[in-house]
Each structure stands twice: as C-alpha cells, then as structure tokens.
Structure 1
C-alpha cells in the first residue's frame, strides 16, 4: 500500500488549490490528486468564453512539469468508488486503496440533462472534452439551439453565433438570466444577445429533439444541426453521501474552515455548503474563484494553519463585447434597482433592507 498523506479528490480549482496550498506548508508529506478527468487540470470559465469562440486555447492550471517539480502526484483518469472514513482510505473503482491523513473532497458538479425525448443526442458544456466536441460540431453546423438561458447558455449561444451559426436560445423564463438577476436585467441581456445575432425564445420548453432540430411546447419547430443543453449542474455528492457525511440542500455541509462532519475530511467548491464568516451563514459556492478560495482554506486547515472562508463571491459572464460582473451572496433578494449608463447598466439587490449583491454590465471585451 502507498504511504498515507494528503489527498484531493477532483482536479478543478478547489482540489488543485488545496493540494498546492498543503504542499507549500509541508514539503515531505505525500500529496495526491485523484481525478477521473484525463486532461491536465484546467480552468473551466474560458471553455464557454475564449475557447469556444476560438479566441484562446485551454487554460491549464499548471503544467505537467509543475506537478512533478512540486512532487504532487496527479493521478488522472481514475474513478474514486468509495471513501472509508473509519480507516481513512480512498478506494478506486479498480480496488486500489490510498490511505490519507487529510482528505479534501472537491469532486465538482455534473451537468443536468433535462428529461426530453432525444436529449441523449444533445451536447453539454461542462468539461474540456465537452468543449472540444462542441467546437468541432460547430465547424460543420449552420444552425444551433441552446437550451437554458443561464450564464453558460448565454455565453455558449453568443460564441456559436460568432462562429456564423444561426443560433436560438430557448428558456422557460421570460428573459435570459431571469431567475438569477431579475426581469429588468434580463431584458437588457436579451437585447445584447439580439445584437450578437442570437435569437431568444422565452416562456417555452423543448419537448423533443430529433435529427432535424427541436420541437417547442408552443408547437414550433426549430432547425438545429447542433443542440446544446445548458440547464444547470448538480453537485456530485455521491461519495460523501455513501460515506455518511452531513449533507444539506444537495451539498456537503462544512464550517468556515472547510471541515466536514467526518474527521480529517474537508470539502470545497461546487460540492460544499460552507459557512462564510462575513455573511454569517452557509453559502453555496458556484464559481471558480469561490472554489479556489475554499480550496486554499481547506489546504491551510489540513496543514494545521488558521484559515477561514470570508471572501464575498464574485464572478463574470461574457456576452458578445459585454462583461457582466456580479459581486454578492447570491442567496436571493427582495428588491432590485437598475440604473442604465452609457455603456451598460448596474443593478443593486437588497434583502431585509441590506445590500446583498451588485450586478454590473459594461462594454469591455
């Protein structure tokens, strides 16, 4: 059996940040990252922005030489089947056991496919392999439909249109990003999409997908050589649930130090429902900056140093030549107030009389 040490399950920003942070504090303890992704660890935001649009390549978090130089054992293409919290072991699908002193669960999230006849023929955009497949499909496509008008759906639709593909964005909401940012912001995003040659079909659903395209609930058919589902993600808590870790609202419950309910087990990123010190409550982490910060906290805590998650979440979305930046808790609001300015708009969000978020859209790409 291999020597015990630090293990991160997942090679996204949370897992890599945790491993990198722990290694910086302990130079001689074994550090391993186990991941089912065969690619070198990479940043996911560029996949639906620069990479799909053909403006930039995949962004590796580190080179293969960096992992070797820092003696971090990156084990790719392996599926973790179970965690034995009593024996402190990680068990792979092939039956190999890796003992740990400290374990960080950073297994991320999986794309949610809607229950639609023919959906198995649609593409998703979650991994680098997904992005490669979609980029190749777009080269030979004249038409496309993107199902779901969240952040990824809006970015993907804009990139496809930029490649000369006639693209329709379909959503059950009346405007894009309605659930997250409200009606007024969504109306302006719809205009931005239209200016970038993306047709928006709201207040409708896709009830079928076939070789010719999609069928909407309104009875309208839309031709599509490529269909993309961007209908959200689900945190992958399969291992945590089987190991008996505390789970709430579909995520692993952790404190501000990223500790789970099991001894020497931490969680970070999409899978974590972590207590944020500044917010004074548990906040779901949904974006790479949150994941990297939580991984940093988990790595420091595991290494024996004082660390707490206290950063306010922030993320950006690129639609055409506009950048939408949100800074806030993302936990709902009672009141929103929008102000237009010469190159975009700003929305303030309040809950219980307190500001809980700010969305700014400005031309800047």
Structure 2
C-alpha cells in the first residue's frame, strides 16, 4: 500500500496528518519537511516569541513522540526534488522515490528579500532561526529599518521598539496596510506606531543597504544597525509547476482543495488557490487560520469525505496595546463604517460594498468574530445606523 504523502511539515501538513489518523485512516502517512525542526506554528515568530514573551515549545504543533505514536513517518531536513502525478511518486534529494495514493502539497511560502545593492544584508522573518537572530539583534540596540508596512513589517517594528531600538519603517504605499485595510484603518496603525516612537517614510523605497545605513530612492540616508525585509512572501509552487499542475499565483484547486489538474493531488495552506463558494472565484490566503483549517479539510477530502472549504478569511495581530481580529476581504468595498471609537482603540470597523458587509475588524473588542462572519456570509444589505450603534446587537442585523 503506497499510502498518503504530505509535502510540507508546517501547520497545514501536521494538522492534515493528525486528521488522517483521527478520521480512521490506517495506511502509511509520510510527512516531509525541509527544516530540521518538527512542525511548528509561525505567528509567534513575529509576536510573543520574538518579544521573549513565549517559550519555544509552545509553538510546536505536536509533542515529539506524537509522530511515532501515530505511525506518521516524519522526514525532517528532507527536500523533494520532483513530483510525478501520473506515476504517483515523489523523489527526494537523495534519490529516494516514494509512491503515494494521494498527495498533499502544503509547502507554504518563502519570505521575499530586497532586490537592491546590499539587499543580502536585510533579515527575513519566516523561521525559528530568523526569529532567534532578530531577538539577538534587538538586544544589541541600534536603529532598525523595516522595509514594508504590512503585517510582518509592523509586528517586527513593534517588537523592535519594545526591545528599546529606534525604528524607521520605509513603505512604498501612502500608508501602512494600504492594500489590505485601506487608508482609514491604515491610519489607525500609523498613529499607534507613531505614539510609540516608530518613524515612517511613506511613498518611499530602499535603493541601497550598506553596513551602517539605508539609502532611499529619494536620496535620504537612514542609520541602520539592522534591516528587516517585511515585503511579503512568495508561495512555494515550484514543485507543482514543474510537475505540470495547474498553477496561477497558487496551486489551483476546487472547493475540496483537490487540484484542478490531477484528482489525486491536493493543496492546503499558503499555496492553495482554492475555489471559494462564498466568493465564487479562486482565493489564496496566507494567514495562520487557513493552514489550521485547510490542512484538516484537505485530509478529509483525500479520504473521500464531502468537503467544501468555504471559511471566511481570518487574521489576527497584536501590536503594542492593540489586539485585533480581521475577517473577510475588502476588495471592491465602497464604504467603511465604525462602531465605537477608533481614537480609543476599542471599536469594530466594517467594510461594505453596495450596503453589504464584506469584511470586519474588531480592535480590542472580543467574542464578536462569529457575528461579523455571519454578516459577511449573509450577503444582505444592512442598516448602516444600526451597524454603527454599539447598543444594537450584531446578531440582530
């Protein structure tokens, strides 16, 4: 019996292996990862672990003995060099060929670097090793320059500032999180960081990095003991593309996370560009919740269960005194409605399109995510006055 093979030993892959066993699959399960560490979750690397507030062990998905106890063949430090979907095999770097009945691709993403002179000096934040190196760098003090005011860039900036470093963020867009939140909510995060002493250079880009400074395209020189590349991540789709699978930005799948080009190949996590029943189009989501939930659903689909992966995209962050959860997708929105005070950092923001809620973000307001997602799923016009009124229960809208 060839069994099921999972390429990618991150959260999605580990949860898929767990689900295969929980669902009663008794055949061989092989979980292959390039890192030497057993599967772990990545959010702590830019949040509590980076700030020294969480222990390393808390990030691991399973205890070390879980894998042998559940007959999961965990191959660490192993690279897959090729996939043969028609022959149902994967080949490892050492030449070993593994057969499979079903294959799950959960290869995640790689942090992008800076393609400028001296760009190799910029640190990335994707692995435990990266987070450890940044913790040590922050402890040494000095000015930290962050390229990019996205989620990772802002979380790294907050961690560096709380460690006592001077911090400057360089961002090409007119504000932080401009593409994912728009200008109104981006300004909330800009104000938060400014109050904590973080400097910004918006509409700017890095042209060169030297041993002691960053030079912007406009000619400004910024002292820099350390530079962090927070300019996004690229999905690891090289194996899939080389194997002839249908790939756009990610591996194209149907709503059950099955590859649209081969029935025995599935994808989950960052690399899955899955048809989303709620949106009626393929959607690729890089956030933690997508790996947490996508891995198990892909495993169920591999076992022939009925699966429709239709979860509302979800993300969370903690920066300084701000904690928030975000649900949905702001694409095409035409209005933003606030419930509560953005100045007091205790509010819910709703993005609407044609009077319908398409996304919501609760800031320091808790236990409302389900209600926000219910509004998104309902797809009906809401009373804007009631939406903005904290005294009107969300469940009544």
| TM-score under structure 2 length normalisation | 0.87
1:304, distance to aligned residue in structure 2 (A): 2.1
Determine the structure 1 residue equivalent to 2:150. 150
Q: Is the 8 A contact 1:113 1:231 kept in 2?
A: yes
Q: Is the 8 A contact 1:324 1:360 kept in 2?
A: yes
Determine the structure 1 residue equivalent to 2:186. 186
In the alignment, structure 2 segments of 5+ residues that lack a partner are: 367-397
CA RMSD of aligned residues (A): 1.6
Determine the structure 2 residue equivalent to 1:361. 363
Q: 1:1-365 counterparts in 2 under 5 A?
A: 4-58=2-56, 59-248=59-248, 250-260=249-259, 261-329=261-329, 331-341=331-341, 342-362=344-364
- Residues of 2 paired with 1:51 and 1:363: CA distance? 24
Aligned to 2:186, the other structure's residue is in SS state helix
Which one scores higher on RCO, CA 8 angstroms, separation ≥ 6? Answer: 1
Q: Which has the larger strand fraction?
A: 1
Q: Is the 8 A contact 1:88 1:99 kept in 2?
A: yes
Q: Is the 8 A contact 1:254 1:266 kept in 2?
A: yes
Residues 172-211 of structure 1, C-alpha deviation per residue, up to 9 Å, x if partnerless? 1122111111111111111111122211221111111001
| TM-score under structure 1 length normalisation | 0.95
Residues 2-30 of structure 1, C-alpha deviation per residue, up to 9 Å, x if partnerless? x6211111111211111111122235311
Change (3 A) 1:169 1:46: same
Residues 133-171 of structure 1, C-alpha deviation per residue, up to 9 Å, x if partnerless? 111222223211111000110000000010011111110
Q: Is the 8 A contact 1:8 1:32 kept in 2?
A: yes
Change (3 A) 1:331 1:291: farther
Change (3 A) 1:9 1:129: same
In the alignment, structure 1 segments of 5+ residues that lack a partner are: none
Q: Is the 8 A contact 1:326 1:357 kept in 2?
A: yes
Residues 101-143 of structure 1, C-alpha deviation per residue, up to 9 Å, x if partnerless? 1100000011111321101011000111111111122222321
Q: Is the 8 A contact 2:101 2:264 kept in 1?
A: yes
Residues 37-58 of structure 1, C-alpha deviation per residue, up to 9 Å, x if partnerless? 1112111011100011111123
